[in-house]
């Protein structure tokens, strides 16, 4: 019986994995150069970790279950909440700021579409202990440097949810309804938003709509003119912009960024792929400033961070996808003394090169045919004659040239060639 893979999941072939590991290596290297250390959290957590802030409705979008002891668990739908849980449990006494990065798979029960899967991967970084503009600027600059290193055509949009939240509080909107409004803004559901504002009796709904429409260089000044009572968020954003200029970060102001998650409290940013390679699902990174630690039993510590959709990065990243250079050790005869020597030679070569040794009992011709099939560059041929002379025959599989030389000479020659 043939068993298909589960809907919303993928198999990754060797070429796919080379590309993904190439991106992953670059991301890890950049984060560590910026002083971030790697952490890892469990694939499943108590479901309460995700419902405590977002409510029970989020369970509809999650893989959640009861284990054999009746505990209510869930496969993690994102990594920010697990990271802050880890911080509260293990790192709350660490020096501030605590700078960490992470990479892992997540799970959401939603309809699969292009670049959106039920199992997906995130790469992210967090500064825990500061919500100052300096911390926010570093996080944004780190995300920006990743985009530059991967040579991805992208746009960075910068906003501040504190401005919208404070405007709604001043209008007498409850915190629960503020969260609902923010989700509608995040979805771009303007008609629903206006209807909700009307139902709530918010008289200044037009001001809210005008603020979320503000984009570009004039956005801050326009917002200042509309909401003079809420200048703290604006001043914060202006300080942040100055620091981003120091870093050389190119961005667009966009006060309509709301981020659908309830825990964002201040600066928010999103990065979009600009080369039309992802269609409608073109957001590749999102982040901002938030407070979650107190919800999980810790102190009310501010944090700022981001997460990249790793699968979307993989879709838009251009890799040369060069297969590693391969060497094949070819024992001419399937005899104990030849096989023993071939294994010894293979063991030495594997300290330096990707080396294959026949495990199928093939003859010389078939082994060389296999070497061509896997695009090997060289074959190290070993028979009784080579054993007697304490040499090997090194064949260039592209030119057909071959040399009978010692193993040390063979290794030296391969090092120069590969």
Instruction: Give CA–CA dist 286/268, Å, rounded.
Output: 8
Class of CATH domain 326-417: alpha beta
Tell me the torsion sign for CA atoms 343, 345, 348, 350: negative
Average the pLDDT over each of 69-73, 264-268, 347-351, 364-368 and give the range with the smallest value.
Answer: 264-268
Please give the average per-residue pLDDT across 348-365, as a whole number.
Answer: 95
The neighbouring-strand residues paired with 306 are 125, 287
pTM passes above 0.85: yes
Cα–Cα distance, 159 to 68 (Å, whole number):
45
The whole-angstrom separation of Cα 247 and Cα 142 is 10
For residue 230, pLDDT beyond 60? no
Q: Which residues make beta-bridge pairs with 393?
A: 381, 404
* Third-level CATH fold of 14-316: BirA Bifunctional Protein; domain 2 (3.30.930)
pLDDT average, residue stretch 283-287? 95
Examine domains 14-316 and 326-417 and report if their fold is the same: no
Judge whether 62 and 47 are in contact, CB under 8 Å.
yes
pLDDT digits (tens, 9 = 90+) for 155-205: 999 988 877 777 676 666 666 666 666 677 666 666 666 666 666 666 565
Q: What is the pLDDT of residue 279?
A: 78
> Helix 190-200 crosses helix 205-212 at what angle (to 10 degrees)?
150
**Which stretch of 132-136, 232-236, 298-302, 350-354 has the lowest confidence by average pLDDT?**
232-236
Give the residue extent of every domain in the chain: 14-316, 326-417
Mean pLDDT of the chain: 88
Label residue 338 by pLDDT band (50, 70, 90): very high
pLDDT over 70 at 104, yes or no:
yes
Region of poorest pLDDT, from 117-121, 161-165, 204-208, 313-317: 204-208
> Mind listing the pLDDT tens digit for each residue in 395-413?
999 999 999 999 999 999 9
Length of the chain: 418
Average pLDDT estimate for 298-320: 94
């Amino acid at each position: 019986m043939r068993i298909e893979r589960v809907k919303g999941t993928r198999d990754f072939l060797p070429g796919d994995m080379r590309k993904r590991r190439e991106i992953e290596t670059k991301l890890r290297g950049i984060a560590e150069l910026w002083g971030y250390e790697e952490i890892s959290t469990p694939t499943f957590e108590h479901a309460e970790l995700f419902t405590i802030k977002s409510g029970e409705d989020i369970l509809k979008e999650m893989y959640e279950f009861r284990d054999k002891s009746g505990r209510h668990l869930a496969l993690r739908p994102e990594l920010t909440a697990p990271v802050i849980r880890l911080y509260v449990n293990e790192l709350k006494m660490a020096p501030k700021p605590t700078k960490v990065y992470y990479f892992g798979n997540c799970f959401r029960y939603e309809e699969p579409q292009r670049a959106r899967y039920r199992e997906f991967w995130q790469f992210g970084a967090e500064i825990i202990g500061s919500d100052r503009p300096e911390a926010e600027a570093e996080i944004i600059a780190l995300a920006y440097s990743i985009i530059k290193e991967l040579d991805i055509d992208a746009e960075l949009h910068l906003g501040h949810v504190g401005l919208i939240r404070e405007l709604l509080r001043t209008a007498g909107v409850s915190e629960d309804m503020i969260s609902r409004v923010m989700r509608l803004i995040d979805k771009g559901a303007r008609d629903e938003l206006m209807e909700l504002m009307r139902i709530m009796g918010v008289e200044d709904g037009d001001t809210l709509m005008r603020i979320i429409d503000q984009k570009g260089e004039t956005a801050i000044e326009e917002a200042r003119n509309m909401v003079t009572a809420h200048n703290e968020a604006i001043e914060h954003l202006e300080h942040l912009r100055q620091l981003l200029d120091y870093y050389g970060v190119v961005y667009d102001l966009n006060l309509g960024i709301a981020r659908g998650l309830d825990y964002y409290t201040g600066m928010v940013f999103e990065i979009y792929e600009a080369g039309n390679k992802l269609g409608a699902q073109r957001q590749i990174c999102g982040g901002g400033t938030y407070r979650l630690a107190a919800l999980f039993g810790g102190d009310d510590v501010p944090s700022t961070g981001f997460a990249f959709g790793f699968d979307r990065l993989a879709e838009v990243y251009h890799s040369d996808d060069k297969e590693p250079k391969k060497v094949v050790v070819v024992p001419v005869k399937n005899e104990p003394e030849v096989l023993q020597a071939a294994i010894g030679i293979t063991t030495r070569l594997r300290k330096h090169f990707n080396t294959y040794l026949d495990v199928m009992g093939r003859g010389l011709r078939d082994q060389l045919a296999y070497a061509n099939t896997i695009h090997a560059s060289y074959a190290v041929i070993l028979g009784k004659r080579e054993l007697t002379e304490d040499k090997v025959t090194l064949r260039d599989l592209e030119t057909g040239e071959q040399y009978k030389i010692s193993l040390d000479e063979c290794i030296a020659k391969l090092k120069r060639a590969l």
